Amino acid sequence: MTDEKFDSRITEKGITEFVYGISWQNTSKESLLRDGRTEIKRPREDPRFTQETPDRIAMQANNQTKLDLEDQAAEALKKRLSKEQLCAKGYEISNVIWKADSIRLLGYCF
């Protein structure tokens, strides 16, 4: 499961700054079996009953490299800036902040 957040502001100098973040919940086998929990054998999930939500990016940090996640976040940011009609002349990502379950891209418009 992922969550997307976006915010922008115009500074006193007239520069549009933005922050775009994606967070995910780690549901790896290792995280589920912490604190002495034991694995329960369950039937395999039937793909016919799997619900897909197109607006969310399905990802788990332990299954992809940080570079892959950063590329996905940058592509999602590009779409969000277009949707918000911001940064028509382009933009620069000035900072990338990583946490265990999220990535934030900070930047500004030209």
Convert the pLDDT of each residue in 63-89 to its tens digit.
456 888 889 899 999 999 999 999 999
Total domain count for the chain?
1
**Over the chain, what is the mean pLDDT?**
78
Domain that includes residue 78, residue range = 6-101
Looking at this protein, which amino acid is placed at residue 28?
S
Is residue 18's pLDDT more than 70?
yes
Inside any domain, residue 82: yes
Interatomic CA distance for residues 57 and 8, integer angstroms: 21
CA atoms within 13 A on the CB side of 94: 11
**Global confidence as pTM:** 0.64
